[in-house]
Structure 1
Amino acid sequence: MHGPETRPTLIGRLADPACEQAWAEFVRLYHDVIYRVARARRLQHADAEDVTQEVFSIVARKVADFDPDSCGSFRGWLRKLARDTAIDRLRRPAVDVGSGDSAVRQKLSEIAADVATATLWDAEVKREQLRLACDRIRDQFSEGTWQSFWLTAIKQQSIAEVAQQLGRSEGSVRVARCRVMAKLKTEVRRDDRENSL
């Protein structure tokens, strides 16, 4: 899953620092993802914002050198930048750490941080992809159909509860949810096909 749209044309335009439109789009796509990953790493709001801005600054300096053949996917490259920046922010000398082999403890901490950050990143990218896809398809459905989907699939309310709340039959709530889910899956698959990086 590629998450927010990182088209090769957008990545290419980021190499031009004067291209405000590209940077505005890039920030819109990735700010919340990077910020939520930093917050999930237990950084305070201000530190998470600093990490986010630092990642954008690194991207500005290094995006011209990004090569998918050597760096892999853009999303993976960006995830590594975000992870490394958050870990650097978290690394502080531990005052109350007991004795033992600190080199082993440090390596285990780094491995655990890498795995946790990669998992968080993937979850946040998927969340952002879902949000963007929902925004794109929302107007294609009536309010009742959308609410049937939203309340059952996103808010996790029971079909019976939603049917009563909306004054609809349980069957119509199920059908509405399925219609929106089918369109949403199609939209996400389309994003995956369009994003080659």
Structure 2
Amino acid sequence: MASENHGPETRPTLIGRLADPACEQAWEEFVRLYRDVVYRVARARGLRHADAEDVSQEVFAIVAQKVEQFDPAAKGSFRGWLRKLARDVAIDRLRRPSIGTGSGDSAVQRQLNELPAGEDTGSLWDVEVRREQLRLACERIRDQFSDGTWQSFWLTAIKHQSIADVAKQLSRSEGSIRVARCRVMAKLKQEVRRDDREISL
């Protein structure tokens, strides 16, 4: 989690902190946000669990080597660069003989031939990033709300139960369920925007 000593305006960007190998907190935050994203994208590309784990490790190793030279003017957004890196590493992994290519496994070769262009991978990546951001943001803010307020939000916004049903379930008025959900959603959006600022989109 980002340092509590800095507000959003004064906190240095996560990318800048990643360039400092001594900043373990930045790396923990970065890996926490992106490890599962890279893994799920690799799995969606057809990689087995062990290979997807290897892709995650390889991607972070490359980031550690190259983040200091990252130039947004030349490479665009950091998130876009990371997305392309994850896709390239996953495709390279698919092409290695250890998972079947070159051994007569036509299904794997067919999968390689049918890999979509970057836009498709980009959509998948963006969905996974947003999902992980929301999951981590929920973890960060959970303790700031009472159980009743959190359940009002969780059951309506995440579990998609109706406000009327949740009001009966929690023995609260429908109005209080709406207010509670709005309070949590506002805080959640604030946390996600903070993450976006940290990644310097």
Q: TM-score of the superposition, structure 2-length normalised?
A: 0.76
Q: Distance in 2 between matches of 1:119 and 1:76?
A: 11
Residues 1:23 and 2:17 aligned together:
no
Secondary structure of 1:43's counterpart equals coil
Q: Is the 8 A contact 1:137 1:184 kept in 2?
A: yes
8 Å Cα contact 2:13-2:199 kept in structure 1: no
Q: Does 1:34 align with 2:41?
A: no
Report the alpha carbon displacement of residue 53 of structure 1 after superposing the two structures with TM: 0.5
Tell me what 1:151 maps to. Answer: 155
Indicate conservation of the 8 Å contact 2:153/2:184, yes or no. Answer: yes
Count of aligned pairs: 183
The answer to whether the 8 Å contact 1:152/1:159 transfers is yes
Residue by residue over 1:29-70, the C-alpha shift from the partner in whole angstroms, topping out at 9 and shown as x without a partner, is 211111121122232211110110010111122212211110
Which amino acid letter does the alignment assign opposite residue 26 of structure 2?
Answer: A
Secondary structure class of the residue paired with 2:143: helix
Match of 1:51 in 2: 55
Q: 1:190 offset after TM fit, Å? A: 4.4
Match of 1:84 in 2: 88
Q: Say if 1:22 and 1:185 are closer, same or farther in 2 by CA, change over 3 A.
A: closer
Q: Determine the C-alpha separation between the residues in 2 that align with 1:181 and 1:18.
A: 35
Aligned partner of 2:52: which letter?
A
Q: Which amino acid aligns with 1:181?
A: M
Superimposed CA distance per residue, residues 123-176 of structure 1 (whole angstroms, 9 cap, x where no aligned partner): 111112212322333233221011110111112222233222222233322222
Q: Aligned partners of 2:16 and 2:191: how far apart in 1?
A: 24
In structure 2, what residue type is equivalent to 1:29? L
Deviates more, 1:82-91 or 1:135-144: 135-144
Task: Note closer, same or farther for the CA distance 1:69–1:8 as it changes in structure 2 (3 Å cut).
Answer: farther
Deviation of the 1:179 alpha carbon: 2.2
The CA deviation string for residues 52-91 of structure 1, in whole angstroms up to 9 with x for no partner, is 0010111122212211110111111111110111122223
Please say if residues 83 and 118 of structure 1, whose CA atoms lie closer than 8 Å, have aligned partners that are also in contact. no
Task: Please state whether the residue corresponding to 1:33 is helix, strand or coil.
Answer: helix
Which residue matches 2:139? Answer: 135
Shift of 1:195: 4.6
**Is the CA contact (8 Å cut-off) linking 2:13 and 2:200 kept in structure 1?**
no
The list of structure 1 runs, each at least 4 consecutive aligned residues, that deviate by more than 6 angstroms after superposition, is none
Alignment of 1:181-192 (within 5 A): 181-192=185-196
TM-score by length of 1: 0.78
Aligned-residue RMSD, C-alpha: 2.8
Q: Which whole-Å CA distance do the structure 2 matches of 1:183 and 1:16 have between them?
A: 30
- Seq. identity, %: 77
- Aligned partners of 1:168 and 1:176: how far apart in 2? 11
Deviation at 1:25, TM superposition (A): 2.7
The letter for the 1-side match of 2:176 is: S
Partner SS state of residue 156, structure 1: coil
Q: Secondary structure at the match of 1:42?
A: coil
2:77 pairs with 1:73? yes
